[in-house]
Amino acid sequence: MKGSSRRPEQVGETLRQVVADALTRGLRDPRVGFVTVTRVEVSPDLSHARVYVAVPGDEAGQERSLEGLRSASGYLRSLAAKVLTTRSVPELHIELDRGLQHANRINELLEGLRREELG
């Protein structure tokens, strides 16, 4: 049963590609702007997948994009069903990846400190 431990990882990578492809080809929802899929985490039983996305812009714009993506999750699942070899397709949960925001904020703070030191 050693090989099955990699299965969620493999399914996650396939889902990441499917969602990223759908985004580059353009979902027809005007709420979905420029969105990047950062990672996908799949539950061990393959029933749920958290799709983390980075959305530039203000909070209102990010929320609009998330709403659009969440409403398209059924369509995204149907695309995934055509590619996945699993018996069932994980339910998609779209989440905002705040890691990039935190990294950018830390960089801004460090840059401010550097300017003060040179000041």
| Helices within the chain (DSSP H only) | 7-25, 59-71, 73-83, 99-118
Please list, in sequence order, all residues whose beta carbon lies within 8 angstroms of the beta carbon of residue 17, skipping any fewer than 6 positions away. 83
Q: Considering only CA atoms, which of 14, 25, 37 is closest in space to residue 90?
A: 14
pLDDT at 22 exceeding the cut of 90: yes
The number of distinct structural domains making up the chain is 1
Instruction: Tell me the Cα Rg of the chain.
Output: 17
Q: SS3 of 10, please?
A: helix
Note down the domain range covering 108: 2-118
pLDDT digits (tens, 9 = 90+) for 26-73: 788 999 988 999 999 999 999 999 999 999 888 999 999 999 999 999
Q: What is the CATH number of the domain that holds 27?
A: 3.30.300.20
Q: Which residues pair with 39 in a beta bridge?
A: 52
pLDDT bracket for residue 2 (50, 70, 90): very low
pTM for the full model? Answer: 0.80
